[in-house]
Amino acid sequence: MAISGRFVLLVLLGLVPVLLLPGWGSFFAVAAVLAAVAGADLALAGSPGLLQVVRGGPVNVALNAPVHAALTIHNNGRRRVRGSFRDAWQPSAGAADPIQPVDVPAGESRRAAVVLRPFRRGDIKSPHVTFRSFGPMGLAARQRTVTSAGSIRVLPPFNSRRHLPSKLQKLRELDGKAAVQIRGAGTEFDSLRDYVRGDDVRSIDWRATARRSAVVVRTWRPERDRRVLMVLDTSRTAAARIDDETRLDSGLEAALLLGVLAERGGDRVDFLAFDRRARARAGTAGKGNLLGRLVQAMAPLEPELIEMDWAAVPAQVRAVTAHRSLVVLLTSLDGGAPEEGLIPAAAQLAVQHVVVVAAVRDPQLGAMLSERSDAAGVFRAAAAERALLQRAAVSAELRRFGVEVVDAEPHQLPPGLADMYIRLKAAGRL
Amino acid sequence: MTGSVSEADVARDAGPRQAAGPSFRSRLRRHRGLVAFGALVAVGLGLVIWGQLAPKGDVVPLSVSNAGPDGARAVAQILGNHGVQVHDVRNYDAAMAALDASSSPTLLIYDRKGALDGQRLRGLADSSARVVVVSPRLETLRALDGGIRQAGVVPEGTPALDPGCSLPDARAAGQVSGGSGFVYDGGTTCFRPSGSAAGVLAAGADGRLVVLGSTAVLGNERLDELGNAALGLRLLGASPDLVWYLPSLEDMDLTGSPRTLDELAPDWVRFVGPWLVVVALAAIAWRGRRHGPLVFEPLPVVVKAVETAEGRARLYHDNRAMDQARDNLRAGTLSRLAAALRLGPGATAEAIVDAAARQLGTAASTVSDLVNDHPRSEARLVAWVRELHTLEKEVKRR
């Protein structure tokens, strides 16, 4: 039950009879009349419990993009329902107008839509819809909450998309589409063509030249149909916030850029989010485009407050691909003991695969490093220095095992990882 | 094997049963003092509570049934023993009835709070043969119109007062207690403090009105001292009926008091407040009713990454870990110098120092002394770090 502002106004007007006929008798009489009027209005209100909600509208939405969450309200009762409803979207859905008027005649349906502008990645939910049905006088309302679960998946923003054209350009230069094809742009034999001045003499195919009168060179192209497996660490270290986004989000951005780039490069892409168990899997094998599947898999990921099970990672990688692959570990280089977890796992993987460890470096550490004005600043600089030295030591240890390391600040990580991929591809190491 | 086990079980079972009695008794014996103390506290507490809750005896000053120091039970009893009927009355109507019932009554009025107005006082005085007023207020005296006025108090340090007048009662009594009394002027005054024309006892011209300025004369506490008893008995025992009237607040005439704001306001004002409360309640119900249950927001865990480094910095600072800080900064500088000089990760500290010195064109010992310095104070540490920074910048610039 609920009352309206109109009823409060009516109660205020009740002051007039109470003052004209002072006395407790009139006081209670007016109160009783008001209560009776409200009760009558309540009795004449349509039953909100007989309303039925069917949800529709889009299933996916980009972060910070507006979306209309539609719902159809069907009135199964015998009386018209007039009043308001509230679609209970969680606060991060950013509902602009969660409370709206509703007017559904008996036996009919009405459509309504709530405009959402979600500001957090993941699945946003609305567990129920609450109806408030006012009587004909609009004084008192019956209120009932109808369970009707709604859910919209908010996809990761893919801000690193802006790096994609330049990286694709680089990839195309490697690929046969560029004008000049020289040795070093790949290891896979592509075709034979006439020698032009400037070509690397090492790429002259003497056998073909002998058959013809002109000098013939071989052209090369980068390997295709290689495998790229990205393993995203969703353990407790992913919860660390660096520069307004968590490590997890930075890792997602980097994985999206690399995934799209590698797919254009003709490689098979697989994505695995893992801490102690697989949180998400996506890959080229499947329906639809890769980007769509990647963002679908990434959307509900959250950092878990548990330790990464590095010992299980090689087995997970083996389960995804049995062939030599580029394995990208999106994790952190500090926090905990990488010597016990990350380094052995990466070393083990490096035996069969090409392993790249991509980690976010905190730019705040650099800022702390330059604080040298007083004793407190010097101690801060010393602490930052220690953290950076530890990272450097871990990076060096990883490189000793033949693991490539991309250690970059949050916004530099996706292009840095893409560059590493292009470099490895160009060098024919995939 | 089984036999021994069962025996052990039996012993374990029997143990507590046998120990139960003695252990309880011994525990009681051990805490005997504590139990006794607890009982004492409980009894004391009970007595105090009972004393507070029990109905009190009469504590009204100069009441004939008050046996306390400021009561007047003694003088009333003595008067009663000598054939004087003492009527103990507490309100005006009873007093008038008692006065009317007797032929030539003596009236004692002790009106501490000035409850009686002039009209009632005059009525009482007219109905009685003799009026003894104890420590009257200004209004009381003015209403009785006996020509007696207030004249201050008995000076400090006057334990006894001599009669010093021709009044037979006073002469018969001799000295009376003087402490903390009032003195009155007009008519015949007796028991005057030295150097004063006013006295504790003042009698009107016709002798019907007697003003006694001291409650000590009649009080239980000092009745046996000096001539207090004689004066009291002679003043009050002159006639066979004594009306002992101690006016209370209920004798106060309220008809003349000014009208309150409540009486001045119109009738309907009383209902504005309650109705506005009703309106407020309705408004609270209107605005306070939530449109459906709350929904949960699953908040992801987010931790500031630099926290660990900052925590370590605070630890260093709190413990003044200068050696640790120096080692860290030195290692960081050396690694950056090695990178700037392209010496590779395997370069030793000496090699880096030599290369840096060569780069700068200075002696290796200068650079070595700087890099290997051990600052002993915080101020020196800050200066040293600055020098290191300068060195780095110079090496990178060339």
> What are the chain B neighbours of A244 within 8 Å (beta carbons)?
none
For position B55, what pLDDT does the model report? 65
- Average pLDDT of chain B is 81
Kindly state the percentage of chain B with pLDDT values over 90: 18
- d(CA A52, CA A202) in angstroms, rounded, equals 76
* pLDDT tens for each residue of A390-403: 888 899 889 999 99
Find out whether A119 and B300 touch, Cβ atoms under 8 Å: no
For position B397, what pLDDT does the model report? 85
**Measured CA distances, A419 to A40, A166, A170, A422 (Å):** 74, 10, 9, 5
Residue position matching structure tokens 């060179």 = A217
Give, in degrees to the nearest 5, the angle at Cα B393 between B391 and B394. Answer: 65
CB within 8 Å of chain B, chain A residues 74-133 = 84, 86, 88-92, 99, 120, 122, 125-130, 132
Find out whether B159 and B187 touch, Cβ atoms under 8 Å: no
For position A425, what pLDDT does the model report? 85
Whether A368 sits inside 8 A of B278 (CB atoms) is no
- Max CA separation in chain B (angstroms): 138
Sign of CA dihedral B390, B391, B397, B398: positive
Whether B267 sits inside 8 A of A22 (CB atoms) is yes
Token pair for A272: 């695995």
For position A105, what pLDDT does the model report? 94
Q: How far apart are the first and last CA of chain B?
A: 92
> What are the chain B neighbours of A378 within 8 Å (beta carbons)?
325, 329, 378, 381-382, 385
Closest alpha carbon within chain A to B334: A389
- d(CA A90, CA B172) in angstroms, rounded, equals 101
Whether B275 sits inside 8 A of A303 (CB atoms) is no
| pLDDT grade for A180, boundaries at 50, 70 and 90 | very low
Q: A42 touching B, CB under 8 A?
A: no
- d(CA B314, CA B310) in angstroms, rounded, equals 6
At A306, the amino acid letter reads I
- Interface with B, mutate which of A89, A120, A306, A378 (most B CBs under 10 A): A378
HSE at residue B75, side-chain half, CA atoms within 13 A, is 33
User: Is the pLDDT reported for residue B13 higher than 50?
Assistant: no
Q: How far apart are the first and last CA of chain A?
A: 68
Whether A379 sits inside 8 A of B297 (CB atoms) is no
Token pair for A377: 């600043």
- d(CA A90, CA B41) in angstroms, rounded, equals 61
For position A106, what pLDDT does the model report? 92
User: Is the pLDDT reported for residue B19 higher than 60?
Assistant: no
* pLDDT tens for each residue of A268-315: 999 999 999 999 999 877 667 888 899 989 999 999 889 889 999 999
> What are the chain A neighbours of B300 within 8 Å (beta carbons)?
120, 122, 239, 246, 302-303
For position A286, what pLDDT does the model report? 67
User: Is the pLDDT reported for residue B202 higher than 90?
Assistant: no
A19: nearest CB among B268, B379, B389: B268
| pLDDT grade for B56, boundaries at 50, 70 and 90 | low
Residue bearing the bigger pLDDT, A180 or B146 = B146
> What are the chain B neighbours of A363 within 8 Å (beta carbons)?
none
Which ipTM value was assigned to this complex? 0.73
| pLDDT grade for A340, boundaries at 50, 70 and 90 | confident
SS3 B84: coil
**Measured CA distances, A384 to A380, B314, B316 (Å):** 6, 12, 12
Window from A31-40, A321-330, B146-155 with minimum mean pLDDT:
B146-155
Q: How close A53 gets to chain B, by Cα (Å)?
A: 15
Whether A387 sits inside 8 A of B312 (CB atoms) is yes
Give mean pLDDT, residues B43-52.
Answer: 90
- Average pLDDT of chain A is 88
CB within 8 Å of chain B, chain A residues 278-337 = 302-303, 305, 334-335
> What are the chain A neighbours of B317 within 8 Å (beta carbons)?
375-376, 379
For position A46, what pLDDT does the model report? 92
A/B interface, count of CB pairs below 8 Å: 180
User: Is the pLDDT reported for residue B1 higher than 60?
Assistant: no
User: Is the pLDDT reported for residue B386 higher than 80?
Assistant: yes
- d(CA B307, CA B340) in angstroms, rounded, equals 30
> What are the chain A neighbours of B271 within 8 Å (beta carbons)?
18-19, 22-23, 27
